[in-house]
Amino acid sequence: MRARLRWVRRLPWPRTLRSRLTAGLVVLLALCCATVGVAAVVELNGFLTGRLDQQLRDVGPRFPASLEHGVRLSDHDGDEHGDTRKQSTGTFGACVVHGTVTSAAVVRPLSDSTHLSAPLDTRDRRMLAAIPTDGRGHTVRLASLGGYRLMAATAPDGDVLITGLPLEPVEAAVHRLELVAVVVFGAALAVTGVAGALWVRWSLRPLNRVAATATRVSELPLASGEVALPPRAPEKEPRSEVGRVATAFNRMLGHVEDALTKRHASEERLRSFAADASHELRTPVASVRGHAELALLHPGPVPPEVTRALERIAAESARMGEMVDDLLLLARLDAGRPLERRPVDLTRLVLDAVTDARAAGPGHRWTLELAEEPVTVTGDEHRLHQVLANLLANARLHTPEGSKVTVSLEGGGAGAVLTVHDDGPGVPGDIQPGVFERFTRAEHRRRPENHGGGAGLGLSIVAAVAEAHGGSVGLESRAGSTTFTVRLPAARASSG
């Protein structure tokens, strides 16, 4: 049973709505044609068979009676046994006496002089002897003569007289009707299939337009920024099913467009607030830091507790100043402010950044893999150096001492590929999808002893700067292997 179900599932069932509607139309028409054809064949067969029965009643048992009395077809023309020469070709006659067939003959074709003895086998004789004398026609298939319609009657002397007419004309007419029905209905199904497919396709054109509009919407960058939705789907027949779908879809697009507009306005207000707040915070933060440093330079005696507090104020002010600078940079990148565009020797930037990282993290093993030729890209040198510094700081802060950090740089016609790989504990899987989002912190998961860390803006700056340069950044991480890959376009020949 399961094998049969698997075989049924493998059948090429139509998948699209258009093919299903066309297939359903053709199947329904095929069922109707089959029903009409079968009914016509059955009706014609019954009608012609009834005509044979009526002919048998009209003829009566004259022919088998002539066989019983030994009368030839040419004898006793018009005698009491009837005019046997008027029997149609193929007429069958038989006499049954006490359950035994004593004689049987069939009218010879194109002959009006003699009748031809019908050869019967044992099975034919048993069937003839079993025909009831009920005045009704019975269909029997004789071995040497084929199908016959037989009717039995009882003679005055008690013998059974059987008269029959061949079924060949009836079968030929029925077979011809079957052939005509198959040809006509087959042609009708083929024409209906083609016409139905065209009609269904024409009827579903509005639905195709809705699908095309939905496809265009799905290809839009809806995650951020201002989005212009495509024109709405046409609503020519709002009362039809397709029209109701188009109306509902357009209404949904309207809601989506309103939501996107409100979200974009909210993002713009948030960016403006972040930029303004960052800009306004730079001066007071710098002032607090300057006063703390100035207090530390006081020549008079200062209690150790006050000195410690002033040092913490200066350190936290410096940290807050870096955070404000990062927020201001992200706000500027979000606003689409252009960066510097000039050739940058990325190889030299990598060497400088690794040198700085080696000095900041002497407990790590730093390895360089550089291309033979210098790799040059077009961009902002300061921001690209910040990308390298953030990636290396991320590897240093989130891996234990003794970890190996490998920095690779490759160049080519398609651009530059920079990778930073470490053999640390890896980035947790639940954090990886949002690792480049702002304020994402996972230092306590990768390096428990690191209780400080940044504000979670380093990798978001890496992603924002890479995108501002027309590039991208990716992450592949598992236990013992973490790789950040930055791809940047090649330097333009026209850059100056």
Rounded CA separation 94/117 (Å): 10
Give φ, ψ of 283 to 5 degrees: -70, -50
Count of Cβ atoms closer than 10 Å to residue 384 Cβ: 26
In a domain, 496, yes or no: no
Distance between first and last Cα of the chain: 75
Which of 256, 275, 279, 255 has the alpha carbon at shortest distance from 267? 275
Which of 427, 415, 412 has the alpha carbon at shortest distance from 459? 427
- Looking up residue 421, the CATH number of its domain turns out to be 3.30.565.10
Q: What is the pLDDT of residue 290?
A: 78
- Return the SS3 of 172: helix
Rounded CA separation 148/378 (Å): 100
Block residue for tokens 């309207």? 254
Distances in Å between the Cα of 385 and the Cα atoms of 215, 255, 278, 380 are 40, 43, 22, 9
In a domain, 222, yes or no: no
- Looking up residue 296, the CATH number of its domain turns out to be 1.10.287.130
Cβ(64)–Cβ(163) below 8 Å: yes
Residue 440 shares a structural domain with residue 391: yes
In a domain, 70, yes or no: yes
Residue span of the structural domain in which 48 resides: 14-59+169-205
Residue 158 shares a structural domain with residue 184: no
- Looking up residue 108, the CATH number of its domain turns out to be 3.30.450
**118-122, 270-274, 357-361: the lowest-pLDDT one:** 270-274
In a domain, 234, yes or no: no
In a domain, 129, yes or no: yes
Enumerate residues 6+ apart whose C-beta is below 8 A from 4: none
- In this predicted structure, the answer to whether residue 23 has a pLDDT above a threshold of 50 is yes
Region of 291 on the Ramachandran plot (φ > 0 left; ψ -120 to 50 alpha; else beta): alpha
Rounded CA separation 406/263 (Å): 41
Residue 284 shares a structural domain with residue 390: no
Q: What is the pLDDT of residue 322?
A: 72
User: Which of 166, 182, 197 is where one domain is finished?
Assistant: 166
- In this predicted structure, the answer to whether residue 284 has a pLDDT above a threshold of 70 is yes
Block residue for tokens 């607090």? 288
Residue 297 shares a structural domain with residue 332: yes
Residue 425 shares a structural domain with residue 353: yes
- In this predicted structure, the answer to whether residue 176 has a pLDDT above a threshold of 90 is yes
User: Which of 166, 193, 216 is where one domain is finished?
Assistant: 166
Residue 434 shares a structural domain with residue 308: no
Residue 161 shares a structural domain with residue 285: no
Q: What is the pLDDT of residue 454?
A: 57
Cβ(407)–Cβ(393) below 8 Å: no
Residue 135 shares a structural domain with residue 282: no
User: Which of 154, 184, 205 is where one domain is finished?
Assistant: 205
Cβ(426)–Cβ(477) below 8 Å: yes
In a domain, 375, yes or no: yes
Residue 401 shares a structural domain with residue 453: yes
Rounded CA separation 227/336 (Å): 15
- Residues above pLDDT 90, as percent of the chain: 18
- pTM greater than the 0.75 cutoff: no
Residue 358 shares a structural domain with residue 472: yes
Residue 183 shares a structural domain with residue 266: no
Give φ, ψ of 77 to 5 degrees: -60, 115
Q: Return the higher-pLDDT residue of 158 and 43.
A: 43
Q: What is the pLDDT of residue 166?
A: 92
Total number of domains constituting the chain:
4
Count of Cβ atoms closer than 10 Å to residue 247 Cβ: 16
In a domain, 282, yes or no: yes
Residue 399 shares a structural domain with residue 276: no
Q: Return the higher-pLDDT residue of 443 and 348.
A: 348
Q: What is the pLDDT of residue 495?
A: 41
